[in-house]
Amino acid sequence: METIDKIKKQISENPILIYMKGSPKFPSCGFSARAVEALINCKVPFGYVDILANPDIRSELPKYAQWPTFPQLWVEGELVGGCDIILEMFQKGELQTLLKEVAEKHPA
């Protein structure tokens, strides 16, 4: 499977997906740690892809997303943004609302 097809499949199969360095339990960079902490605090299920374990995705996703950095939060197939946007939305209460609505539409 081509890397872009793999990325599209991951995004389509996970209504809430974060591409990050490391895992939610063991993030490997400060930006990923802060972003995933915000997601965890929203108390909804989400998927993740460790880009350090997937160098093909790490190199191809920025081109596909037209977003150069990680983490990247994808919600229902749309790129929401990176760490700063995730934290800003969380502080305003927007992230909790968005993710709760999406989680209710897609029961695990």
Q: Where are the domains of the chain?
A: 3-99
Query: Does residue 28 register a pLDDT over 80?
Result: yes
pLDDT at 83: 98
- pLDDT tens for 51-70 read 999 999 999 999 999 999 99
Local structure of 17: helix, strand or coil: strand
The answer to whether the annotation marks 42 as part of a ligand binding site is no
Q: 70: annotated binding-site residue? A: yes
Write down the pTM of the prediction: 0.96
Does 83 carry a binding-site annotation? Answer: yes
The verdict on whether residue 31 carries a ligand-binding annotation is no
State the CB neighbour count (10 A cutoff) for residue 67: 15
Architecture of domain 3-99: 3-Layer(aba) Sandwich (3.40)
How does pLDDT run across 75-100, given as a tens digit for each residue? 999 999 999 999 999 999 999 999 99
